[in-house]
Amino acid sequence: MWAVTVDGVGTPAVLRWSQVDDPVPAPGEVLLDVTASAVNRADLLQAAGHYPPPPGASPILGMECSGTIRELGPDVTGRQVGDEVCALLAGGGYAQQVSVPAVQLLPVPPGVDLLHAAALPEAACTVWSNLVLTVGLRSGQTILIHGGASGIGTMAIQVARALGATVAVTASRQSALNACHDLGAQIMINYAEDDFVEALAAATGGRGTDVILDVVGAKYLARNISALADGGRLVIIGMQGGTKAELDINSLMRRRLGIISTALRSRPVSGPGSKAEVITAVTEHLWPLIAAGSVRPVVDAIIDMPQAGAAHRRLGQGGHVGKIVLRAPTADG
Amino acid sequence: MWAVTVDGVGTPAVLRWSQVDDPVPAPGEVLLDVTASAVNRADLLQAAGHYPPPPGASPILGMECSGTIRELGPDVTGRQVGDEVCALLAGGGYAQQVSVPAVQLLPVPPGVDLLHAAALPEAACTVWSNLVLTVGLRSGQTILIHGGASGIGTMAIQVARALGATVAVTASRQSALNACHDLGAQIMINYAEDDFVEALAAATGGRGTDVILDVVGAKYLARNISALADGGRLVIIGMQGGTKAELDINSLMRRRLGIISTALRSRPVSGPGSKAEVITAVTEHLWPLIAAGSVRPVVDAIIDMPQAGAAHRRLGQGGHVGKIVLRAPTADG
């Protein structure tokens, strides 16, 4: 098959469309003909050599895809060759075929075509696992979503609104803030112009926010803590602003605050806290929101997979709204 | 009335038994004739000038007591003069009388006398709010309790066991570890002799612990994070080892860990996250465990209230097991 390979290690990495060995499904896995994958920021880190895939995972980039089941590996039940699905991957999505544990498959939600379904698994599983399974966001609460126009952000805005929360977002471009507003965000903060802590305090009568979904990490730690309402939770899912920062425990204790950090890729396949657990919850609770039309995949651009390098540059430069989808050439090349 | 007053500010502070003005119950408050109070570490900090009472609270030491209702303030319903109760206080317990919001009263649990009931409110509310309301400790999980022989620790061991958790404790004296074992702890770690992270890993097959109840803070932050199992929660309720430490967010993200810090005293009287909410939960769920005999107040010593200074020295020196109760002289002095 053909797949995207990384030529050397460097920034920017050179991505090539290359012929590689076909994957073979292990027990419990299915082999998919990939319709499309989508770009995640972690892919850029992995291409630059900063985020090695977990042990046993494909070295090929790509943490999500949509496609059609081509072959069932040993010990797979309840699946049929020809089923259209999307999938959460530990790697390998930037390719014409990928092997994936059957428990990491999701159905294609009603009303979404197979191409656009590639934009869903990472954003849906990340948002649901953090907002619902980790901090239990509920109606009447406020959430601040940093990078509201990102793939994760556009999904988080819609899910939080569907849960009945008030949604604040940050972005640095007016066009991005407008897009967030159109998706349901009620408090738009341009972090390039305003201090987000002050802007959020002004918008909430000084109360702050119950939950923050953060992708910045160290650089925002102290300010995120300041932005939380009493009893609030900071959920860190990215470290674009570094990993190490001074923590003042007293600033947490006085107001009963919590900091939680999570990743999807390192979760075990099955068992407590696993990908399978997240996928079950997403299928049961988030897919119906998509079927009902209250949540939809937001796709910034559809780019042919052999041009993955251009897709990475687009994500790296910012200004996109939603997910960048990589359309795979058909299996005959 | 007579009460303990702090003579100047210093370490050790001099505590005196002095005549002071009688408290007057505000609307929603009741006036208690105090049977007993109990010593908390925060009292030592407050006496040393490091922990001022929250705005509006009595300047007198004492965050819990038992006693009899002497008078109802305006707008109090459902209470009778003569009722025997215990209470969570924002301050004022080291005295013959104290005024307290009626929502901060708890019944005296069946099987506990009024004197020993003074040992319950802080430990019960701290343990239940953190273990159950904050991190949802459940059967089959493991908890590490630092300072297992303390007032909080002895309550936490019993509650965690009643919830079905496996309990590990740290202490520096064999006598304290023996007492923890007698209360139900299954993994005893002498932190003066062994590194608690290594000892816990050895006792859990390398898995670590799902929850840590910590009173050390900064000095233990990195090691507590190391001791957590995937998905674990560190709950910091004391900062005996300092307040500021470097946090490596990556160490949280890889294993989906969380750090939460809470305090009871700064909670609002009523509303979400309030003392009233905690007290309702404790009365509904923890008091029945006491009535059933699976949890009991652990009292290290009963000391007459005018000798509060001796009680503080006993707590400061360590070696106690459970709570130090301060028995109030009768109201006629």
Q: Assess whether A198 and A109 both reside in one domain.
A: no
Numbers of helices and strands, H then E, in chain A: 11, 16
Give per-residue pLDDT as tens, B108-152: 999 999 999 999 999 999 999 999 999 999 999 999 999 999 999
What is the pLDDT averaged over residues A51-58?
Answer: 86
Q: Assess whether B254 and B130 both reside in one domain.
A: yes
pLDDT at B8: 73
Give the nearest partner residue to B231 out of A217, A247, A273, using CB atoms. A273
Task: Report the complex ipTM.
Answer: 0.94
What is the pLDDT averaged over residues A176-198?
Answer: 98
Q: Assess whether B227 and B112 both reside in one domain.
A: no
Q: Assess whether A170 and A77 both reside in one domain.
A: no
CATH number at residue A224: 3.40.50.720
Q: Assess whether B110 and B131 both reside in one domain.
A: no
Domain that holds residue A138: 124-261
Helices (H), B2-72: 41-47
Top pLDDT among A278 and B7 is at A278
What is the pLDDT averaged over residues B317-326?
Answer: 95
Question: Which secondary-structure segment (H or E) carries B301?
Answer: strand B299-304
Query: In whole angstroms, what is the distance from residue A155 CA to residue A119 CA?
Result: 10
> Quick check: B183 pLDDT over 80?
yes
pLDDT at A12: 65
CB contact under 8 A, A257 and B255: no
pLDDT at A49: 86
Token pair belonging to A225: 């803590």
- For residue A255, the chain B residue with the least C-alpha distance is B262
- Looking at chain A from residue 97 to 136, which residues have their Cβ under 8 Å from any Cβ of chain B? 134
Query: For an interface test with B, which of A247, A248, A252, A266 has the most B Cβ atoms less than 10 Å from its Cβ?
Result: A247
Q: Assess whether A115 and A136 both reside in one domain.
A: no
> Quick check: B332 pLDDT over 70?
no
In this predicted structure, which of A40-44, A114-118, B50-54, B276-280 has the lowest mean pLDDT? B50-54
Q: Assess whether B116 and B128 both reside in one domain.
A: no
pLDDT at A10: 62
Give the nearest partner residue to B253 out of A253, A254, A261, using CB atoms. A261
> Quick check: A332 pLDDT over 60?
no
What is the pLDDT averaged over residues B171-180?
Answer: 97
DSSP for A178-199 reads HHHHHHT-SEEEETTTS-HHHH
Helices (H), B128-254: 151-162, 174-183, 196-203, 221-227, 249-253
Give per-residue pLDDT as tens, A199-241: 999 999 999 999 999 999 999 999 999 999 999 999 999 999 9
Does A247 lie at the interface with B, CB-CB under 8 angstroms?
Answer: yes
The strand pairing partners of B65, in sequence order, are B37, B87
Question: Which secondary-structure segment (H or E) carries A246?
Answer: strand A244-248
Residue type, A210: D
Q: Assess whether A116 and A189 both reside in one domain.
A: no
What is the pLDDT averaged over residues B253-281?
Answer: 95
For the full predicted model, state whether its pTM sits above 0.90. Answer: yes
For residue B52, what pLDDT band results from cuts at 50, 70 and 90?
confident
For residue B331, what pLDDT band results from cuts at 50, 70 and 90?
low
Q: Assess whether B244 and B311 both reside in one domain.
A: no
> Quick check: A272 pLDDT over 50?
yes
Mean of pLDDT over chain B:
95
Q: Assess whether B111 and B206 both reside in one domain.
A: no
Closest Cα of chain B to A35: distance in Å?
Answer: 30
Taking a C-beta distance cutoff of 8 angstroms, is the pair A211, A200 a contact? no
CATH number at residue B316: 3.90.180.10
Query: For an interface test with B, which of A215, A221, A237, A249 has the most B Cβ atoms less than 10 Å from its Cβ?
Result: A249
- Provide CB contacts within 8 A for B80, sequence distance 6+: B69
